Amino acid sequence: MSAVLVVDDEPHLVRTLAINLRARDYAVETAGDGRSALQAFHDTAPDLVVLDLGLPDLDGVEVLRRIRESSDVPVIVLSARTDSVDKVEALDLGADDYVTKPFGMDEFLARVRVALRRGREETDQDEPPFTTEHFSLDFSDRHAVVRGGEVRLTPTEWRLLATLARRAGHLVSQQELLREVWGPAYGRESNYLRVYANQLRRKLEPDPTRPRYLLTEPGQGYRLVGG
């Protein structure tokens, strides 16, 4: 049974989400503010966090930042904020998905299933290591070394890199990447790819502003090249 921590300061929404999740055999913990959320997170070690950004004490972005300091657990952000800046900030800090309020329950539950599945799945064990002059990626144990030092990558970052590495040197379309990494319901969220590509460049590239390895073909897709 997967455990889900729901963090939101709207009691009615928390109750609705908890009822629907428990009806599908998820174990559910809830919290109504940021500090309670962090305490519950450390006490229960959930398999998934559903996190509202608009909390009454700590902002949800700060809660996400603190979670990411110690864990790669999948996080779905809920927010009434429709500004793309907020979405980019949440994704940039390591959120796996972003759901704008109001939302349909079927859509929400589908995103929960996808996030949990991604959290459980391992990168392809048969994927050979990918090595360049500046970094190496060992997909079998998710070990990344950049200029001699280990670098931590999130599960979503590993999945994106593995998808590109399988077709190293070749263009992989935005739609294919979104469906491979986030699931079949995705295909138009190109902003997700921009955010994660920028994150990976900051972690892997010698000069993130002039990438050598993770390349963008504007309006088309991405390619990972060696050398």
Question: Which of 94, 120, 146 is at the close of a domain?
Answer: 120
- Based on the fold, state whether residues 116 and 18 are members of the same structural domain: yes
- Based on the fold, state whether residues 90 and 140 are members of the same structural domain: no
pTM of the model: 0.70
Sign of CA dihedral 98, 103, 25, 63: positive
Task: Residue 60: give its domain's CATH number.
Answer: 3.40.50.2300
- Based on the fold, state whether residues 101 and 174 are members of the same structural domain: no
Checking if the pLDDT of 189 tops 50, the result is yes
- Based on the fold, state whether residues 102 and 208 are members of the same structural domain: no
pLDDT confidence of 210, banded at 50, 70, 90? Answer: very high
- Based on the fold, state whether residues 31 and 107 are members of the same structural domain: yes
Predicted local distance difference test score (pLDDT) of residue 82? 67
CB 76 within 8 A of CB 111: yes
In the chain, how many domains are there? 2
Annotate the chain with three-state secondary structure.
CCEEEEECCCHHHHHHHHHHHHCCCCEEEEECCHHHHHHHHHHHCCCEEEEECCCCCCCHHHHHHHHHCCCCCCEEEEECCCCHHHHHHHHHCCCCEEEECCCCHHHHHHHHHHHHHHHHCCCCCCCCCEECCCEEEECCCCEEEECCEEECCCHHHHHHHHHHHCCCCCCEEHHHHHHHHCCCCCCCCHHHHHHHHHHHHHHHCCCCCCCCCEEEECCCEEEECCC
- Based on the fold, state whether residues 14 and 115 are members of the same structural domain: yes
Percent residues over pLDDT 90 in the chain? 56
Domain residue limits at 39: 3-120
| C-alpha to C-alpha distances, 176 to 3, 96, 115, 185, nearest whole angstrom | 30, 17, 18, 11
User: In this predicted model, what pLDDT tens digit does every residue of 43-75 receive, in sequence order?
Assistant: 999 999 999 988 988 888 899 999 988 888 899
User: In this predicted model, what pLDDT tens digit does every residue of 79-138 receive, in sequence order?
Assistant: 887 666 777 778 878 888 888 889 999 989 998 998 888 766 554 556 789 999 999 999
Question: Which of 120, 140, 167 is at the close of a domain?
Answer: 120
Question: Which of 120, 150, 169 is at the close of a domain?
Answer: 120
In a domain, 125, yes or no: no
